[in-house]
Amino acid sequence: MKKIEISAVSYTNTKPFIYGIKHSGFINKIGLSLDNPTDCAQKLIDGTVDIGLIPVAAILNLPYWEIVSDYCIGAVGAVDSVFIFSNCPIHDVRTLQLDPQSRSSNNLAKVLLKNFWKIECTMISNAIDYATSLEPYTAFVQIGDRTFGKKDKYPFAYDLAAEWQNFTGLPFLFAAWVANKSIPNDFMEEFNAALKFGLNHRKELFKELPHPTDFDVEDYLLHKIDYPLTDEKRKALHLFLDYVRNL
């Protein structure tokens, strides 16, 4: 029987899931690749994998999709790894450079700019050295491990999960385990169990992870990333997708 192919994001926030997949024995039942969020989404869209931990904005590019896990990459309030970094207050930004590794967070920034902050600025998708601009009215979106320790290095750092909650009162769902076809229930039950195993063994995982001096990885994985896929996060997902459709 052909193995189900899964693509997962390679960032630190996914490490508990990968730990569970590998240490529960589930790894022997699947094909697994680790990718950046954009590539993870594209593999699911192209059909080269069956399940992906994809940025939720990519759902809009799938003709068929279903969420296949009770777990996700989410946040209730500040997430500490999805930012707009800026040299000026957000209302003075004239140019926003988008993160080439992001779909959902770029769209989240656009949603907040239009509907919460109510400002217009030029969006640049493929800026060279997009995250190093010294222009006074230029800001950039950045996500994942590359943001660790950075929020105190710019005059202004806007945590997009916190800003979304300020806007809507809801948590945010950054990435979900999504299938592009129907998946057998028994597989999904085993998959969920493997993910839960990883979450329950985060303290063992910490022994394997690097610990940068300027970022608290343990606090991040225990308190900033909120893994259960709750009804509130599902509500936030559908609201966010509605906003993205109307950009």
Q: Which of 131, 152, 168 is the last residue of a domain?
A: 168
Encoded tokens for 223 = 């308190």
- pLDDT of 135: 83
148 and 181 in a single domain? The answer is: no
Mark residue 143 as left, alpha or beta (left: phi above 0; alpha: psi -120 to 50; beta: remaining).
beta
Residue 239 lies in a domain: no
Distance CA 98, CA 203 (A): 34
Cβ contact 137:94 at 8 Å: yes
**Same domain (yes/no): 182, 151:** no
pLDDT of residue 37: 87
Name the domain count of the chain: 2
Q: What is the mean pLDDT of residues 132-138?
A: 82
* Residue 103 binned pLDDT confidence (cut-offs 50, 70, 90): confident
pLDDT value at residue 82: 97
Alpha carbon 101 to its chain centroid, in Å, reads 10
**Average pLDDT for the chain:** 94
**DSSP state at residue 192:** H
Same-domain check for residues 69 and 181:
yes
Left if phi > 0, otherwise alpha if psi is -120 to 50, otherwise beta: which for 172?
beta
Which of the two residues, 56 and 101, has the higher pLDDT score? Answer: 56
Whether pLDDT at 131 is above 90:
no
The percent of residues above 90 in pLDDT, for the chain, comes to 88
Q: Compute CA 226 distance to the chain's CA centroid, rounded to the nearest angstrom.
A: 11
Domain-located, residue 20:
yes
Q: Which of 145, 168, 191 is the last residue of a domain?
A: 168
What tokens appear for 15 in the block? 């490490």
pLDDT tens digit string along 166-225? Answer: 999 999 999 999 999 999 999 999 999 999 999 999 999 999 998 889 999 999 999 999
- Helix, strand, coil distribution of the chain in percent, nearest 5: 45, 25, 35
Answer yes or no: is 111 within a domain.
yes
Q: What band does 134 get if pLDDT is binned at 50, 70 and 90?
A: confident
Kindly report the CATH number assigned to the domain that includes residue 29: 3.40.190.10
| pLDDT at site 132 | 74
Residue 127 has pLDDT above 90, yes or no: no
For 227, the 3-state DSSP assignment is strand
Instruction: Supply the range of the domain harboring residue 143.
Output: 82-168
Interatomic CA distance for residues 142 and 130, integer angstroms: 9
